[in-house]
Amino acid sequence: MMIDLHTHTFLSDGVLIPSELVRRAQVKGYRAIAITDHVDASNVEILVPQLVHVCQRLNDQGKVMVVPGVEVTHVPPKDLAAVVASARAAGAQLVVVHGETTVEPVAPGTNHQALKLEIDILAHPGLITREEAALAAKRGIALELSARRGHSLSNGHVARMAQETGATLVLNTDAHEPEDLLTMAEARRVALGAGLSAREVERIYANAKRLVERVSGVRKKS
């Protein structure tokens, strides 16, 4: 069953309300989904409590595990620590940082700074360096293979850097619209297209499962 740790709703720049996103994920055969709407200093303290509340209500339905998270997006590297800390303090259980994708003007140095912080996933990190991938491996931060058009252009490079350094990989949709959600079979094809073996593809799913279980444990204790 699919696990997707990077999606968006109309609370940022997606088109679906959270309940419809989760319902569509259920129909696609999802086991778990994280809602990670975009935040910076302007909205993090407003948006996160909303997501925590709605995810709790959706989890009460018991169909798909829903994780409240954020994607810290286009924040200057020097300000990343403060926004990440604010997201955690507000209740975000999964923190993703918008990496240096090759198709958007993300500030240079974002990847490196983000990997020094208490985050869970560096999303679509573009032409990440071997040194940065090694830092991700050392700190237990997952690097994302992206199914999103444009962001996926560097998947092969990201996969190779992870293979060389032992960094953890996850595969996410970065869904903004209904058609962005994937079945497990579709997600496997994206990973295979990045040059991974069938065994490595299965490992990606196991990585996501462990991350969800860790977050779920945090939720039960809170």
Residue with tokens 């700190």: 139
Q: Three-class SS of residue 137?
A: helix
Q: Give pLDDT, residue 151.
A: 97
Enumerate residues 6+ apart whose C-beta is below 8 A from 131: none
Q: Give pLDDT, residue 220.
A: 44
- Which CA distances in Å does 21 have to 36, 60, 106? 12, 16, 27
Q: Give pLDDT, residue 61.
A: 84
The pTM (predicted TM-score) of the whole model is: 0.96
CATH (domain of 103)? 3.20.20.140
Query: Which domain does 73 fall in, by range?
Result: 2-221
Q: Give pLDDT, residue 1.
A: 86
In the chain, the number of structural domains is 1
pLDDT block averages, 10 residues each, the chain of length 222: 96 96 96 98 97 95 92 98 98 97 97 98 98 98 97 98 98 98 96 96 96 73 40
